[in-house]
Amino acid sequence: MNSHPDTVIKGGRIIDASGEHSADVVISEGHIVAVGPNLDAKRVIDAAGCIVSPGLVDLHAHLRQPGKEETETIASGARAAALGGYTAVLAMPNTTPAIDCAAVVREVLDLGRESVCDVHTSGAITVGRSGEQLAPMAEMAALGVRIFTDDGTGVQDDRLMRRAMEYASGLGVTLAQHCEVNSLSEGTCMHEGEWSARLGLPGQPSESEELMVMRDIALARMTGAKIHFQPMSTSGSAALIAAAKAKGMTITAEAAPHHFTLTDACCENYDATFKVHPPLRTQADVDAIKAALAVGSLDAIATDHAPHAAEDKELPFDQAPPGMLGLEYALALAFTELVDGGAMTEAEVLGAMSSKPAAIAGMQNHGQILVPGVSANLCVIDPTHRWRIDATGGASLSRNVPYVGREVRGKVRHTFLFGESVVHDGEVQR
């Protein structure tokens, strides 16, 4: 990428892991070269009234390529990410074929190099995500894969998961788990509770998630493996993780925006836009997820961006695929629901969306404190801009947006990827 020489971002309020202060930021040749007052450069970006933050990092994005390019490509997903302030995303391996070997890892990484976001990929824990045989994690780790998951399907076999943890420990990589016990969740399509009873739809109990959380905490204690829990949706799961951390375990966990903004009551009209796994839960669960993010027992906010073709989401609720879009909306939803709701500060939200996920994924060039010498991966956010989410889906090739009509606060004006202006005044530059 060719960075614009000597760009200055002037008049912004820097928020990063070191704190908050007002300063100008000068970018040259892909790096930050100066931070301070009254700086000048050839090109000036006016950031008065704006936040200047490390670029956001998403631990959980379904980019669909290879295999489902009609719903999303790495290029289109990267554009959506950049518009949302993301400079790095971690692609999930439930593609067709699955990302379960070196050849598919190389394909995804090669496609990512041409995009407007730094695309990393996870690898599958088991071959084909079938839960039967361990995938060749070592050969994928040799290509830079740091997180392995069978996302969309939790590893059901206890002994196999133990072996996976022991294998991962030797490689120094992290296993991420989609927590869902199939014997309790198979055939379900929403949360089991008052609304599933009203609608006559088969419901997934909270215990389906919580039992796997308990098992993997126990296995991580046994093996010493690094384990990351993918979107947690229940109050019980949040409590289990908080208790494990209180005992000194180094586990990490994420929450998705839909699990702190939407409830199972959204399913009342059988609109499959609101079908997602883990499913939307109760208001009590939403409140618990917010509280867990506020105290840090849930470390990161991850989008679980999951595009689907319109004709698939128009199927009957129990037949439609789960998932919803998130990359362009996550920051504004977090500011609106968490900051305006009093649960977190802007700095805490940005930490949960930049420095913390970058540390979990081992992305050393992202989420950094904005000082001279670091890679110029950052975004400029107008925190006062109010806007209403529409049904277009933004840059995504899909349109399964569950937030249509919701008024939110916070809009990304500029995104810089290794010094290149990939989003300028809210428009993707290539």
271-324 tens-digit pLDDT: 999 999 999 999 999 999 999 999 999 999 999 999 999 999 999 999 999 999
pLDDT of residue 315: 98
Chain centroid to CA 165: how far? 23
Q: Kindly state whether residue 368 falls inside one of the protein's structural domains.
A: no
Q: Kindly state whether residue 1 falls inside one of the protein's structural domains.
A: no
Q: Where are the alpha helices (DSSP H) in 146-272?
A: 158-171, 182-185, 194-199, 206-223, 235-246, 258-261
- Say whether both 47 and 58 belong to one domain: no
Q: What SS3 state is found at 233?
A: coil
pLDDT of residue 2: 44
Asked if residues 383 and 340 have their Cβ atoms less than 8 Å apart, the reply is no
Cis, peptide link before residue 316, omega less than 30° from 0: no
For 67: left if phi > 0, alpha if psi spans -120 to 50, otherwise beta; the answer is left
pLDDT of residue 284: 98
Q: Tokens 């913390």 label which residue?
A: 356
Domain boundary among 304, 332, 361: 361
pLDDT of residue 381: 98
pLDDT of residue 4: 52
- Say whether both 63 and 32 belong to one domain: no
Domain boundary among 314, 339, 361: 361
- Say whether both 23 and 168 belong to one domain: no
- Say whether both 103 and 180 belong to one domain: yes
pLDDT of residue 5: 59
Q: Kindly state whether residue 188 falls inside one of the protein's structural domains.
A: yes
- The tokens describing 297, both together, are 């027992």
What strands lie across the sheet with 226-229, from one edge to the other?
147-148, 174-177, 226-229, 252-255, 300-301
In the predicted model, residues of the chain with pLDDT beneath 50 are 1-3
Q: Which of 130-137's residues contact partners 24+ apart within 8 Å by CB, and which partners?
A: 131/155, 131/156, 131/157, 131/160, 132/157, 132/160, 134/160, 134/163, 134/164, 134/167, 135/100, 135/101, 136/100, 136/101, 136/102, 137/164, 137/167, 137/168, 137/171, 137/173
**Active-site positions?**
304
- Its domain, for residue 312, covers 54-361
In this structure, the number of other CB atoms found within 10 A of the CB of residue 186 comes to 11
